[in-house]
Structure 1
Amino acid sequence: MQQDRCCSPRIRFKMLHRKTYHVKDLQAEIEAHTDIFHSLDESGQKILKSLEGSEDAALLQRRLDNMNFRWNELRKKSLNIRSHLEATSDQWKRFHLSLQELLAWIHLKNDELTRQMPVGGDVPTVQKQNDTHRAFKRELKGKEPVIMSALETVQMFLADQPLEGLDKLYQEHRELPPEEQPQNIARMLRKQVDDVKTEWEKVNVRSVDWQKKLDVTLERLMELQEAMDELDLKLRQAEAIKGSWQPVGDLLIDSLQDHIEKVKAFRAEIAPFKENVTHMNDLASQFPSNDIHLSPYNLNRLDDLNTRWKLLQV
């Protein structure tokens, strides 16, 4: 439960605001002691004048100089830390929002890629899917420099470890619960960077795999279409020859033998068609095993060609 709180973006924002508040509070405390400091300094200067020339005067002067030096260093340190913290807070917010937006965009692209599936069952459908996915890949390619630049910028920010200096300050004043320790900001940003990297790689791998499947399926569908077109042409030619025959009842007895010879020759001519039919059906049978469903058009055409082949042999 504690770990979840440490990883909450809302906690990170609260943490930065709270640290800014603590530094402002420290500055206010310093300012509240300004009058005391000036009063001590003035009193010291008066005493110094009364002790002029003595050893005590030299000792007092060193103490006053040391007090002034430490006071100025404390104010300078407080102002520097406040300025640095406010700048870091703004940077962290920008990085956080930028990475969140990139992650959301990648998730949208992932969903969009899912909607492109499954692969179609005929050449026109797969060609359309191919065009859609090529446009999708162009979007990924165009976004890549933006994502890489954002990741590189955040990693450089993390490498600088800008919040380390705050740890020493707060160790001197108060203990913070784990969810408010400065190093957790860097941990949260690193997690966001890892998430963006992981999701970006995932969507690119899915895109490559999808393109491969489209390419392979399109090639197989075109091969099937070519086989069906070839068989269809041969069947049409054979059907035209068979359609030119006279009905048996109209044949003269003297011509029967000639017609019998023609039928025998016809059967010999169409016998090789069986190889075309077998090749076509073998190609069609590969699609279901690869989780690809042929379109109704292709299924109807397969059924029509097989039926015509059977009728041709009757």
Structure 2
Amino acid sequence: MESQTTKKGKNKHSTKKSSKKFKPTYDWTISEARALYESSKCNFDIDIIHYEDCIEGMRKLPDNSIDMVVADPPFGINFNGKEGIYNRDKNNVIEGYKEVEISNYSEFTNRWISELPRILKKSGGVWIFSGWTNLKDILFALEKNNLELINHIIWKYQFGVFTKRKFVTSHYHILFAVKNKRNYFFNKIEHYPEDVWNIKRVYHTGIKKNATKLPTDVVLRCIDFGSKPGDIILDPFMGNGTTAVVCKGAYRHYIGYEINKQLQEIIEWNLSKIKLGEFYTPYSERTNDKREKN
């Protein structure tokens, strides 16, 4: 008799739990999101890209001024003449792009990451993309500069370089770290957000671009979870301008740095194609959105 009661109780509880509709931690209507965007105030220029070294540029930013950082730094890879295989054919890559020397990568990584704790707001977060080759340098720099790791996300994509005696690498790492582990912004927009993301990688041949180009969907996913409308997002390595494009489309402000001035035309063209708020949909209305499945 006792076991039947327990069984009934469990069934009743399970039904009640499954029927409860999930709600994001925070959600905004389109008009609310736009109002937050338009009411943002700060004492420095935003929605701008500076064509200069990011380390020098970040030193000019005020303390506690940035809500979120999205960074896709150079990977420090020696391609050994195989640029075409990696979709980095010199004929399609804009001039001026340079990889960081492998021997200098650790020092370079620590230098730019060391600027983040000062400029991040108390609730700020950092989302860093990395291949596995120099992942240890980024992890070490985060720890050295007291940025606490929250998640190590795997971005699984469909592209991989042919190998003979090892497994094909078909993923990137996304490190999510924060300034204060007890007080950081994270908008739980899905019931069970997992740390493996299946998002197709951008792979277009014959198109002029920076040597690295992130898909809009993967950056948007980071920004959806890590910020709110009106927030200021920093990208130290703006590249093709993907972060700026996503920010404009999602009612976020951006500030970026790009050392290669020759990318300015591509960035401005990419931004010109996007309308303000074009990507934004209230999270509660995204049940049929393809991004929910990634």
Q: Same fold (TM over 0.5)?
A: no
Q: Determine which structure has more spread, i.e. the larger CA radius of gyration.
A: 1
TM-score bracket, normalised by the shorter chain, equals under 0.3
Considering fraction of residues, name the structure with more helix: 1
TM-score (norm 1): 0.20
